[in-house]
Structure 1
Amino acid sequence: MTDNATTTIVSTPLTNADRCDRCGAAAKVRATLSGGGELLFCRHHYNAHESRLVEMGAVVHA
């Protein structure tokens, strides 16, 4: 008998109240970090940090 556990990340949709953690503009992207934290980015700051987020294994929800 095998135990196939699956982890599902459920992300609530971004709203107008969600703001970029860098500049306070409307958030367009949520990045969930492997350690469980999350960061919100406007499109500009996401583009600036995308490569590092990928290196860190972040799950991105746009």
Structure 2
Amino acid sequence: MQPGTLSRPELTATDRCDRCGAAAKVRAVLPSGGELLFCGHHARAHGDKMRELDIQVQSG
């Protein structure tokens, strides 16, 4: 995953992973404009698919 240039706010301690509720470390911005937040574990687990789909990633 390579960080992209995003105009979204930085991740904070209140942002939670959409899969498990842990602290979010990565924001994945989908081509449709939606976004998913992932903890480090789930960001790594879905990293190959995010690269395949050319999803923009913001690390926090």
TM over 0.5: yes
Say if 2:37 is the partner of 1:12: no
- Corresponding position of 2:31: 34
Q: Does 1:55 align with 2:52?
A: yes
Identity of aligned residues (%): 56
Structure 1 ranges of 4+ moved more than 3 A: none
Two-structure CA RMSD over aligned residues (Å): 1.1
How big is each residue's C-alpha offset from its partner over 1:5-46, in whole Å with a ceiling of 9 and x where there is no partner?
Answer: xxx730100011100000000000000011111000000000
2-structure distance, mates of 1:13, 1:57: 20
Q: Which runs of 5+ in 1 are unaligned?
A: 1-7
Q: For structure 2, which runs of at least 5 residues remain unmatched after alignment?
A: none
**Once the two structures are superposed, what CA deviation does each residue of 1:37-58 show, in whole Å capped at 9, x if it has no partner?**
1000000000000010111111
Larger Rg: 1
